[in-house]
Amino acid sequence: MQEKIDLLVDEINSFTANGFKDAEEFRLKYLSKNGKVSVLFDEFKEVAAEQKRALGKPLNELKNLAQNKLNEIQEKFTQTSVKENNSIDYTLPGDAYQTGSRHPLSLIRNQIIDIFNKIGFSVADGPEIEDDWHNFSALNFPEEHPARDMQDTFFVEENWALRTHTSSIQIRVMEKQTPPLRLLAPGRVYRNEAISARAHCQFHQVEGFYIDKNVSFADLKQTLLYFSKEMFGSQTKIRLRPSFFPFTEPSAEMDVSCMFCNQKGCNICKHSGWVEILGCGMIDPNVFTNCNINPDEYSGFAFGMGIERIAMLKYKINDLRLFFENDVQFLKQFSKVI
């Protein structure tokens, strides 16, 4: 056995390593459970008692030699690795870090706000849980209006519900401030609808209104024409169709010329050449009266649009649900959109 010990001492002393891989090979060859040093310790158990005293010391020295050799190799290449990692070549180009992206709804919301900021509109905010007065009554909704029914509204408790539109912010502002008022009210709204590619129980809306003396329907039309050209391009046309909303009179739905087919007719515009994007109208005098504003002295217009609707048209998205599913592949498409 002494000869085997001496042989392993020579092997270990002559072992050279060129990297961490060699260090692992050394450990497996000599110090692992089936390594040469471990095998000698197993053989040592069978040695006669009178020889154990003479062989025990050199065997332990062999094990310590192997362990020290392993530690030496590992330390050597650890220091080399640290040194290499700390060596920075400042002449090399910088690494490009992968950046995230804004959500498409945030992009469109910010763009809408920027467009109206240029013509004097500021931004207002309000609570998402609203009382009946601000969400319905003050906006001239009659008691029997279908929007008050459970089929359309998420009621939290009696006379309190998740807001169904951001028009409630208009009422809160009109109650506290005096005209002239020129405000945008963006925010999340809720309606009890079945979720599909075209509808959702939650979505985002932008309400806008302008109140002053001698505000006319012509002012509304020019404001919305300016917005449409800024959002969809200078060639965009608009048309206004008569409609009905409890809080505006007269009321209208606004269409823009189809940006997909240039009014030649396609599936998006149902071959009409027009795409509906918002509702609007002159604020009903009853709304002014409810907010203690004299309708004989002031007039104003209001409009409301769905941010999802604008985003779907702007980015040619055909499924509303994509905005709420946090699909990384979908969101990455907007990483370079400013």
Q: What is the CA radius of gyration of the chain?
A: 38
Q: What is the pTM (predicted TM-score) of this model?
A: 0.69
Segment among 3-12, 104-113, 177-186 with least mean pLDDT:
3-12
Residue 70's pLDDT is what?
Answer: 79
pLDDT of residue 31: 79
The pLDDT value recorded for residue 129 is 95
Residue with the larger pLDDT of the pair 106 and 146? 106
- Candidates 1.10.8.50, 3.40.50.1700, 3.30.930.10, 3.20.20.150; correct CATH number of 104-334? 3.30.930.10
The pLDDT value given to residue 39: 80
3-class SS of residue 38: helix
Q: Are strands 181-190 and 122-123 parallel, antiparallel or unpaired?
A: parallel
Highest average pLDDT, of 174-183, 190-199, 325-334, comes from 174-183
Residue 58: count of CB within 10 angstroms of its CB? 15
| Residue whose C-alpha is closest to residue 310's, from 243, 264, 266, 254 | 254
pLDDT tier at 86 (50, 70, 90 boundaries)? low
Q: Please say whether the beta carbons of 208 and 228 come within 8 A.
A: no
List phi, psi (to 5°) of 154.
-90, 100
Report the range of poorest mean pLDDT among 20-34, 65-79, 80-94, 125-139: 80-94
pLDDT tens for 51-65 read: 777 777 877 887 888
Average pLDDT rounded to a whole number, residues 178-199:
92
Q: Give the amino acid at 267.
A: N
Q: Can you give the pLDDT at residue 174?
A: 95
* pLDDT recorded at residue 127: 95
Q: Over the stretch 201-254, which tens digit does the pLDDT of each residue have?
A: 999 999 999 999 999 999 999 999 999 999 999 999 999 999 999 999 999 999
Q: Give the pLDDT confidence of 62-83 residue by residue, as tens digits.
A: 788 888 877 887 777 666 555 5
CA 170 to chain centre: 27
Digit-coded pLDDT (tens) for 138-152: 999 888 877 777 668
